[in-house]
Amino acid sequence: MSDKGRLAGKKAIITGSGTGIGREIALEFARQGADVVLHYAHSSAGAKSAVKEIEDMGRKATAYAADFSKVDEVIDFGNKAIKFLGGIDCLVNNAGITFNMPIRKVSVDQFEWMYNVNIKAQYFLCQRVIEELTKKNKPGQIVNITSIHGVSGAPEHSVYAGTKGAIIAFTRSLAMEVGHKGIRINALAPGCVPVENYSKVVKDFNLEDQKKWAANAIPVGHYGTPLDIARVAVFLCTEDSRYILGQTIVVDGGTTNLMSLISDFRNESTAHFGTGYLPGV
């Protein structure tokens, strides 16, 4: 494979890349010329098959397991990844877990587990990568994956949304701290992107029903794919985005822009506000 690509010669770490969005981000980074270290928490099959695909592209790749509820494993993973790559240019903090529960039923252990994996792991892996980039006096890019749950509300998601909102806040502040060093940090907030886990947690889930639902519920008329998210992550790690810093890029087909009070955005409204005092209404 040619080294030409938007990320040619880059060295990238992608966490939570055994399945779904993370796996596709890892593959897209490789398609764009990067060498990649993948991370997985449990099953190795998806990450290892992605490694094989990346190696077949002519890129360098490996995958390491780490329990991101434990900071020592997060740091150990970062050390191994940087050593394997011989340096670091890009980090995509995709690893995270989701959870819904009415607040009255949430346990302390559940709360702490969510914050350990979704926030503490991201934060301290950022610390390790920034340390490496600063030591080598190198520019770099970090993309922290958050969610539209961090910018809009949904019942029973108070713990999950709290972690995703925290990602947005620490991304913004950290970017102000290290941006002058050439280290650009941004966040990426996906909307509805069906992945393997949907079929495990949603009763009778199938993509055809999801497609019909999305056509009516999402302003752009369809749900997103992991590749939609991966392409934005690539963009945030290229010079094309060199003037973007500390921002949260929402990739949701317009979901968070739509007011919940609007019942049907596809048809012309039958209500005519302004009648009697605005010309022509």
**Cβ neighbours of 231 (radius 10 Å):** 17
User: Can you give the pLDDT at residue 2?
Assistant: 44
The per-residue pLDDT for range 187-237, each reduced to its tens digit, is: 999 999 988 766 666 767 788 888 888 988 999 999 999 999 999 999 999
Alpha-carbon distance 167 to 15, whole Å? 15
Alpha-carbon distance 64 to 223, whole Å? 31
User: Can you give the pLDDT at residue 1?
Assistant: 41
Domain 11-254, CATH among 3.90.550.10, 3.40.50.150, 3.90.960.10, 3.40.50.720: 3.40.50.720
Residue 160 annotated in active site: yes
Residues of the chain falling short of pLDDT 70? 1-3, 197-201, 203, 263
User: Can you give the pLDDT at residue 279?
Assistant: 85
Alpha-carbon distance 201 to 223, whole Å? 18
Alpha-carbon distance 256 to 261, whole Å? 13
178: Cβ contacts below 8 Å, ≥ 6 apart:
130, 134, 185
User: Can you give the pLDDT at residue 101?
Assistant: 95
Alpha helices, H only, 57-157:
71-85, 108-115, 121-135
| Options 40, 64, 123, 160, the catalytic residue | 160
Contact criterion met (CB below 8 Å) for 68 and 15: yes
